[in-house]
Structure 1
């Protein structure tokens, strides 16, 4: 696979707040929130009889309220429906960071939308994200990532949807997600194999912030980049959990400094403070430091 299939762009995606496009009050609060991105929902959270109103809300919001420094993602209905086609047309007028497709189960679901974006002459900056939220989606996650992750396909990230997956598999909701972990790890592995970011599912009880924080820590340990949120109260815990840890940052800076020494030039493995470190760890360290710098810069701009 050619290297250009993989994105080297560093973006914090610790906290992606999902907001129903019909909810004007929630939209009005977004500018003051510290989430890394917003998922504007035109799908499940918008009733059929107010879809047009929700699209209009988005067009007005994007025209009047730029969210500087944060990603904007619009979740649409399936483009195999007339509703989804109208959603996509409105979404492209907004020119978001990404279009989020629901219930992606096979590569053609990505490819079909990529063709629609090409026909509409959508900017290359508009990416496609895929909700993996059905048994077929989990089983085909690697195929979706492999066959769709090309320049033309625009695929940039997977987002896990556990509510639908639980419903279809009949796995009950429980605190540690014990019987869902194998599937979550399968999605993470598929995403990483083909250079995609991967976002953990929502946690439905936004009042229990201790349980939410524990789920964030579990998601970080499994390798997720961040979490999809349903309430602003969840932002701080997600930002803390998925931010680079102080100890990891210190180690990353040590690795970068060690390989920058003149005596390390041309070496693929060095001894640093009694540890053998490979050059491949440098790119990981640089990414971690870059992520921390972006987060610190955004924090400084808000103060």
Structure 2
């Protein structure tokens, strides 16, 4: 169990690698079991759209069973609860956290700071305003106190899925210190705007110039970066079209997103590849940082602009190299400390 403070735990969750986030229906025992062996960076057990209404209550206990049993290769574990426009949100939060706490009785963090449960974050869908995030924060805080958990250690990932959510994205990003990422939900976003397409993420009929999703993707990314959190792209629903998935993933990876949701095991390896810095970029970033640090030191002449190969590098170039380094560190492949 961690002896870190809640703020340290949340900071770690904001740095964690989320190249791929695998969605798993919480009502499918078979798929829950299969998900344990997949190499996605994050797995979320879904209580929302992937679970039919009559199965939602029972799925809560199945999610608790799966998380309590452990064995996941994924480094991050999450649960997506139902949105506030349903009758399930409070029950989802209460039964999952309480169930996990009951399974882990007795183990305390060093210094008596409280226990942790095998749940890193809660994904909150269809967020339209900051108050919805703040409400989940308060419920989690009471549950943490009730069960002797580390208060404030469970992170939040709000999904932006309609125009109102996009308008309020900055307030949503800062509604709770628990927020570790913003997630774009393309399907509901398309429906809310009336886009002429029946395929999630596809360009709408008649829209022939540019990318219909560039504005929401960029707006979410700008807000995430302004507030020091991650930006995660939503799913590509043609699960057998690996080439199409790769194209969509490279699009948002190039824009600067940290990762993408995946719906099928075939998408996991390709997603991890796309959102991992390339070997030549890592080598180049390491070279830039080493040469720049030396050249800007007193012993190196205190030069602020230098040549690295055939390119001039200044402080802006150093920051770009740091971005590559941070992504490589999160993926566990940075060659230095």
Q: What TM-score, normalized to structure 1? A: 0.86
Is the contact between residue 24 and residue 35 of structure 2 (CA under 8 Å) also seen in structure 1? no
Is the contact between residue 81 and residue 124 of structure 2 (CA under 8 Å) also seen in structure 1? yes
Deviates further, 76-85 or 34-43: 76-85
What does the per-residue CA deviation read over 1:145-202, in whole Å, with 9 as the maximum and x for residues that have no partner? 2x42xxx531111111111111111113464572121121111111111111011111
Residue of structure 2 in register with 1:301 after alignment: none
Residue of structure 2 in register with 1:108 after alignment: 131
Residue of structure 2 in register with 1:86 after alignment: 91
Task: Write the mapping of 1:219-258 to structure 2, written as runs, cut at 5 A.
Answer: 219-258=252-291
Is the contact between residue 79 and residue 113 of structure 1 (CA under 8 Å) also seen in structure 2? no
Is the contact between residue 38 and residue 74 of structure 2 (CA under 8 Å) also seen in structure 1? no
C-alpha distance in 1, partners of 2:87/2:212?
36
C-alpha distance in 1, partners of 2:327/2:240?
29
Deviation at 1:288, TM superposition (A): 3.0
C-alpha distance in 2, partners of 1:242/1:82?
36
Pairing partner for 1:143 from 171, 177, 181: 171
Task: Write the mapping of 1:1-303 to structure 2, written as runs, cut at 5 A.
Answer: 7=11, 10-67=15-72, 70-79=75-84, 81-93=86-98, 94=100, 95=117, 96-121=119-144, 122-123=149-150, 124-145=152-173, 147-148=174-175, 153-173=177-197, 175=202, 178-261=211-294, 263-265=295-297, 267=302, 269-273=304-308, 274-279=310-315, 281-282=317-318, 285-286=321-322, 288-296=324-332
Is the contact between residue 191 and residue 197 of structure 1 (CA under 8 Å) also seen in structure 2? yes
Is the contact between residue 91 and residue 99 of structure 1 (CA under 8 Å) also seen in structure 2? no
Is the contact between residue 110 and residue 153 of structure 1 (CA under 8 Å) also seen in structure 2? no
Deviation at 1:294, TM superposition (A): 4.9
Deviation at 1:247, TM superposition (A): 2.4
Query: Cα gap change, 1:288/1:175 in structure 2, threshold over 3 Å: closer, same or farther?
Result: same
C-alpha distance in 2, partners of 1:125/1:167?
34
Deviation at 1:240, TM superposition (A): 1.1
Deviation at 1:290, TM superposition (A): 4.9
Is the contact between residue 111 and residue 153 of structure 1 (CA under 8 Å) also seen in structure 2? no
3-state SS of 1:227 partner: strand
Give the root-mean-square deviation of aligned CA atoms.
2.6
| Unaligned residue ranges in structure 1 (runs of 5+) | 298-303
C-alpha distance in 1, partners of 2:17/2:240?
25
State how many pairs are aligned: 290
What does the per-residue CA deviation read over 1:73-96, in whole Å, with 9 as the maximum and x for residues that have no partner? 110013565411110013324331
Q: What TM-score, normalized to structure 2? A: 0.78
Deviation at 1:52, TM superposition (A): 2.3
Is the contact between residue 306 and residue 314 of structure 2 (CA under 8 Å) also seen in structure 1? no
What does the per-residue CA deviation read over 1:214-261, in whole Å, with 9 as the maximum and x for residues that have no partner? 001111112111101111111111111110112221121012211332
